[in-house]
Amino acid sequence: MTDIGEAGRALRSGRTTSRTLTEASLAAATALDGELAAFVALDPDGALEAADDADAAIAAGRDLGPLMGVPVAIKDIVDVAGLPTRCGSPAYPATPAATDATLVRRLRRGGAVIVGKTTTHELACGVYSPPVSNPWDLGRIPGGSSGGSGAAVAAGIVPMAIGSDTGGSIRIPASLCGTVGLKATYGRVSRSGVAALAWSLDHLGPLTSTVEGCAASLEVLAGSDPLDPSASSRPVPQYSSGLDRGVDGLRIGVLGGAPLEPMQPDVAETFAASADLLGGQGAAMVGVDVPELEHGLAVEFGIVAPEAGAYHRELVRSRPDQIDPGIRTLLVAGLMLEPEHYFKALEARRAIAEALRMAFVRNRLDALITPTLPATAAPKDADDFWFGDAAEPVTLAYVRTTGPFNLSGLPALSVPAGFDRDGLPIGLQVAAAPFDEETALRVGACFEAAAGIQARRPPIHASG
Amino acid sequence: MPVVGDAAPGDPVEQTAARMRALGLDHEVLDPAATHADLAERIAQSVSLDALVSDSGGLDPTAFDSSWPTADTE
């Protein structure tokens, strides 16, 4: 059972039990681990105990929410009491975390069953997530840094896994693995108990098999937190309730120009078809250019380097040999650069956020769509994409379409949109105004229903 | 051109190495020459942002402008 809504209905009608779902999830995680390497730790005892608690609650007529009894997984930069938080790094200790992160507490309170922790790219700083494989093609990367979460959901091991997103780390694996992924508004989901990469860009959120499951997950995850001053105290809407409203009457921007070009032809074709599909559902589609986004990568890495360098400074000083050389270079730069460069990047970030706001205001937009990424899943050994005669590093190519929504803090959803000529997934990104996740999810749900591709499963899947 | 604000004369790579030592970054896997080249590239990226920041205003990533429209408010 690979969907939260379907699992919830089956649990409440007595057609299955949380123990049955959890045992199947644990079995699939184990059976597929040799091919996918999506998990770094499983917690069968804790998961089955939580499953039995959920079954008892259901039997007693209690309803803890949409994730009650549903198996989920947590990216291994998030503290889960009793399990180590290794951050994909040999430098992090195997000592179990003493307490749960706030979002884990929320999940437990909502009756979710945590089956284990998923593989992350080292220090949540990269898009390859080795040794994880993409369920659609084992020779391809799953994306990152939440690569294990993307692979686990795409392969049907769990219907939801937590990811983090500093420059695209939820939406990149969602797009490459063919799942839904949501980076909610900055501050919508607490970051307390989660290792940072760059605190002013870090977001948490779910990767799920459906938009309905994504909405249900956000209802559980979102909310204020005294342990995280950046967590918003705005009320949390019932995100699931408006998913069937369609897009008739909405104005949806279609981003062009920077930062989309260059992109693979199959991606361009799918993006154009996606815009047509939404237009056919009644939305007014409006072409939008935001030239300031050309600077997005310079701003993104101008902020990530000093914030990540500061966060990891003791590690860089004491054990730099235990850090991947590429990440090490970034962290050292962050410690070496004069503060003026960081402050300039923060100012430039504000300019980009304002440019996006003005694009919404001037065009009276409800949402803005882009291809989630300009390319599909890269081979594991590829350093660059080739767009015609021009090479571009894989990491930069992916982050240039997702990063602007970390800089602006806007909610951004990735939803499966199609497949390239090699059968690899292509994602559609739907951004909306601050704290208007409802509209992003509403557009995503309409698109998902109209596109009708969510039933297509990868060759490596729990269903065999 | 000095890379990290050190006005002392001499080999720029040695200046970078001196700054690395001062910051406790003198481990054998940390290469001053490579660091110097990387910093120069990042500073060039930073310079490219000059035109963007002239009138950008505040710095707070949580300070969303209240004039944002939404589907429910329009």
Whether the predicted pLDDT of B73 surpasses 50? no
Cβ contacts of B53 on chain A, cutoff 8 Å: 344, 347-348, 351
pLDDT of the residue at B63: 67
pLDDT of the residue at B7: 45
Cβ contacts of A335 on chain B, cutoff 8 Å: 23, 25
Cβ proximity of A214 and A441 under 8 Å: yes
Considering only CB atoms, A351 lies closest to which of B16, B52, B72, namely B52
Cβ proximity of B24 and B60 under 8 Å: no
pLDDT of the residue at A258: 86
In A13-159, beta strands by DSSP E: 39-42, 71-75, 113-118
Say whether B43 and A366 touch across the interface (CB within 8 A). Answer: no
User: B23, B49, B74: which to substitute to probe chain A, counting the most A Cβ within 10 Å?
Assistant: B49
Whether the predicted pLDDT of B11 surpasses 60? yes
Instruction: Give the number of A-B residue pairs with CB atoms closer than 8 Å.
Output: 143
Give tens-digit pLDDT for A99-150.
Answer: 999 999 999 999 999 999 999 999 999 999 999 999 999 999 999 999 999 9
Phi, psi of A452 (to 5 degrees): 65, 35
Considering only CB atoms, B70 lies closest to which of A299, A341, A439, namely A439
Phi, psi of A254 (to 5 degrees): -115, 105
Question: Which residues of A are annotated as catalytic?
Answer: 75, 145, 169
Residue with tokens 């290469």: B31
- Residue B35 touches chain A, beta carbons under 8 Å: yes
d(CA A382, CA A392): 11
Low-confidence ranges of chain A (pLDDT < 70): 1
pLDDT of the residue at B2: 45
List, as one string, the DSSP characters of A218-251: HHHHBS--TT-TTS--SPPP-GGGGGGG-STT-E
Cβ contacts of A442 on chain B, cutoff 8 Å: 71
pLDDT of the residue at B74: 42
| Nearest Cα residue in chain B from A296 | B49
List, as one string, the DSSP characters of A14-47: TSS-HHHHHHHHHHHHHHHHHHH--EEEE-HHHH
d(CA A361, CA A156): 40
Query: How many other C-beta atoms are found inside a 10 Å radius of the C-beta of residue A56?
Result: 11
Say whether A442 and B71 touch across the interface (CB within 8 A). Answer: yes
Considering only CB atoms, A344 lies closest to which of B39, B46, B61, namely B46
pLDDT of the residue at B58: 55
- Residue B73 touches chain A, beta carbons under 8 Å: no
ipTM: 0.88
Whether the predicted pLDDT of B56 surpasses 70? no
pLDDT of the residue at A454: 85
Closest-CA distance of chain B to residue A339, Å: 10
Strand partners, A459: none
pLDDT of the residue at B5: 47
